[in-house]
Structure 1
Amino acid sequence: MYYTISEISKKVNISPYTLRFYAKEGLFPFVDRSENGIRMFKDEDFEWLFMIDCLKKTGMSLKDIKTFVEWAMQGDETIDQRLNMFQEQRKAVEAQIAQLQDTLDVLKYKCWYYETAKAAGTTAVPRAMQEDHIPDNVRYVRKKSQKIHKLG
């Protein structure tokens, strides 16, 4: 079965504009065209679209995604390059996740801080709390911020 950009857009939840842009950037060498020049996606193209979307979500540049597509189209001779690319991208995503986890921890601390302040009617209460009265899951964030403050 074949799908137009509009049809496949709905199925993969990527806008037609974005798919056309990706096509213009050369990310779809695997897509057939009708007699009228309309791009016609096949069922097996869903895997490609899924992978391109996944790599884009990791922050990979379109240039690097295009390189991946080109390597994949070349076949087994580029397995090492593709494996290396995925290993490097995995490291980058793991670093992003660690950074986001740190940010989430700060947000959890601030939620605790302001929930405590709201219950007490003042921010003086959580600010003056001793370490052992602060929940374990947010205590280290306060320690970290105090350490940074002392360094500055």
Structure 2
Amino acid sequence: MEDMTGTGTDKRSYSISEVVALTGLTAHTLRWYERIGLMPHVDRSHTGQRRFSDRDLDWLAFVGKLRLTGMPVADMVRYAELLRAGESTFEERQELLEATRRDVISRIAELHDTLAVLDHKIEFYAGARRAPERHSVR
């Protein structure tokens, strides 16, 4: 997953429509990723059509995880640039991922608090439905 150069020995290649079907991303998003440097070095067929490799699919899966963390696109592009720059950027990449991890942990804590509030309200309504009517007519 670390190597995103597209220069590996992948035997299988995928058209943009196949990648759309496999990833759930749109063709527009894939082209945008390429344009902003998040998905560089996509191979082309002899007719100029994009051809994605298994390595590209692995990279897109990783980018999808970064998106789920809430990492800003600019940081994802920075990570991709650092990755392309090579091993000398290990420390900076690690720092970027650690900062993202801290953000995720903070969001998880916020979500746990939110879940507790929802659980409390759900229990209140469930209890209210089970409670006997106080003003029943006999």
Q: TM-score, normalised by structure 2?
A: 0.81
SS of structure 2 residue aligned to 1:14: coil
Indicate yes or no: 2:65 matched with 1:82: no
1:88-127 alignment, distance < 5 Å: 88-120=99-131
Superposed displacement of residue 32, structure 1: 1.1
Pairwise CA distance, 1:70: 0.9
Higher helix share: 1
Q: In the alignment, which of 3, 10, 23 is matched to residue 34 of structure 2?
A: 23
1:44 alignment partner, SS class: helix
Give the Cα–Cα distance (whole angstroms) in 1 for the partners of residues 94 and 129 of structure 2.
51
TM-superposed CA distance for 1:55, in Å, is 0.7
Structure 1 residue aligned with 2:3: none
The 5 A counterparts of 1:40-79 are 40-79=51-90
Query: In structure 2, what residue type is equivalent to 1:63?
Result: A
Q: List gaps (5 residues or longer) in structure 2.
A: 1-11, 134-138
Amino acid at match of 2:49: I
Q: Who wins on radius of gyration, i.e. which is larger? A: 1
Percent identity of equivalent pairs: 37
Shift in Å, 1:10: 1.4
Provide the residue aligned with 1:143 in structure 2. Answer: none
Residues in 1 aligned to 2:82 and 2:104: alpha-carbon distance in whole angstroms: 21
Decide which moves more: 25-34 or 99-108.
25-34
CA RMSD across the alignment: 1.5
Would you say how many aligned residue pairs link Structure 1 and Structure 2? Answer: 122
- Aligned AA (1:101): H
1:14 equivalenced with 2:25 (yes/no): yes
User: Per-residue deviation at 1:106?
Assistant: 0.6
Structure 1 segments (4+ residues) deviating >3 Å: none
Could you say which residue in structure 2 is the equivalent of 1:5?
16
